[in-house]
């Protein structure tokens, strides 16, 4: 005789229907919440790999919200498991609906495993994010130290070169003024001080590569730090031409040369002295050439006398040069020699 099972009670049927609804909602949560979890997880993971603090700050809150949903999902799993337990405790229901109950239990177990896996992944990724943020903060502090040190050097260089250009303009003006006033001492002092200013030539050349290297040394610079680097480069660019400008001023002042020395006027040559010179040279003292000879002796340098007189008298220049020693012994010629130097 076949065994007759008790028919399902209304309460059991209602509980089975409620359990099936709970499981459907769990399966839907696995799908929907899984999409949100994946977007947050993948975004945060990529940001950590790229050491992007901005990306971490963007995706970490999204992952936190996904974890909150996981907590709610695990609560729903617990309720579903409790319902399955009650279903299994109903002999009449299990006698006719055991397969359905076990399918529901299997679906709940599958959802639970997926939720637990996501919780573990989120916990591990959260730890990686903490380490990445700490590394980013440490790198940012290191970058700030390097930027701060260079900032001081750049400011000092800019201030020094700006002051140097102002000083160079003043010294160049002083040199020109000294030259106009025939003040050789003041001219030399201004030139010397101007040349010393060129010692700053290499400052900009050394600093620019160091500033340009900062973004390569610290690839995670934030926007403000990158702006600081650009400001330093702009400051250096403004003073890059200062050394060349000072160099041009040095060349201009050197081109002035030395202050010309004004020689005292040569004393007037008396007629008797001119006759004595003509006689010492062994030249004839005739009236027709005496005036021209006296003019040569009065105007030309002593070394030029032999050539000019030889041309005037038609004699050999070498013979007159040979007598130049006797000519220089004359007292009035010695005073003329000092002026011709």
Cα gap 250→196, rounded to integer Å: 10
Number of other residues whose CB lies within 10 A of the CB of residue 298: 15
Cα gap 192→186, rounded to integer Å: 10
Residue 274 pLDDT > 70: yes
Residue 202 pLDDT > 70: no
pLDDT digits (tens, 9 = 90+) for 293-311: 888 888 888 888 899 888 9
- Of 60-69, 126-135, 164-173, 262-271, the least confident: 262-271
Q: What is residue 173's predicted lDDT score, i.e. its pLDDT?
A: 92
Q: What is residue 300's predicted lDDT score, i.e. its pLDDT?
A: 84
pLDDT above 90 as % of the chain: 4
Residue 1 pLDDT > 50: no
pTM of the model: 0.43
CATH code assigned to 142-255? 1.20.58
- Of 103-117, 166-180, 240-254, the least confident: 240-254
- Contact assessment for residue 221 and residue 214, using Cβ atoms and an 8 Å cutoff: yes
pLDDT digits (tens, 9 = 90+) for 40-52: 889 888 888 877 7
Q: What is the mean pLDDT of residues 205-215?
A: 83
Sequence spans of domains, the chain: 10-137, 142-255, 271-340
């Amino acid at each position: 005789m076949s065994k007759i099972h008790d028919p399902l009670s209304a309460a059991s049927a209602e509980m089975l229907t409620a359990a099936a609804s709970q499981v459907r909602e769990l399966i839907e949560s696995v799908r929907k919440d899984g999409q949100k979890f994946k977007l947050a997880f993948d975004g945060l993971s990529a940001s950590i790999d790229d050491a992007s603090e901005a990306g971490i700050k963007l995706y970490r809150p999204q992952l936190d919200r996904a974890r909150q949903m996981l907590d709610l999902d695990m609560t729903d799993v617990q309720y579903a498991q409790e319902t399955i337990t009650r279903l299994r405790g109903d002999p009449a229901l299990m006698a006719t609906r055991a397969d359905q109950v076990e399918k529901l239990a299997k679906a709940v177990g599958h959802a639970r495993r997926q939720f637990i896996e996501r919780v573990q992944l989120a916990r591990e990724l959260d730890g990686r994010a903490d380490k990445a943020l700490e590394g980013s903060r440490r790198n940012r502090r290191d970058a700030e130290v390097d930027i701060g040190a260079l900032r001081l050097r750049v400011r000092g260089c800019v201030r020094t070169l700006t002051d140097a250009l102002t000083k160079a303009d003043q010294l160049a003006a002083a040199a020109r003024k000294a030259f106009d006033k025939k003040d050789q001492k003041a001219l030399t002092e201004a030139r010397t001080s101007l040349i010393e200013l060129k010692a700053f030539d290499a400052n900009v050349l050394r600093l620019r590569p160091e500033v340009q290297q900062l973004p390569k040394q610290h690839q995670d610079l934030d926007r403000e730090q990158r702006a600081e680097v650009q400001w330093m480069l702009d400051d250096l660019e403004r003073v890059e031409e200062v050394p060349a400008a000072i160099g041009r001023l040095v060349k201009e002042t050197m081109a002035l040369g030395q202050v010309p020395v004004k020689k005292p006027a040569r004393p007037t040559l008396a007629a008797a002295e001119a006759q004595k010179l003509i006689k010492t040279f062994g030249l004839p003292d005739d009236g027709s050439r005496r005036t021209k000879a006296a003019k040569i002796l009065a105007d030309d340098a002593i070394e030029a006398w032999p050539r000019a007189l030889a041309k005037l008298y038609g004699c050999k220049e070498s013979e007159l040069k040979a007598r130049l020693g006797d000519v220089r012994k004359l007292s009035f010629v010695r005073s003329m020699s000092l002026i011709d130097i």
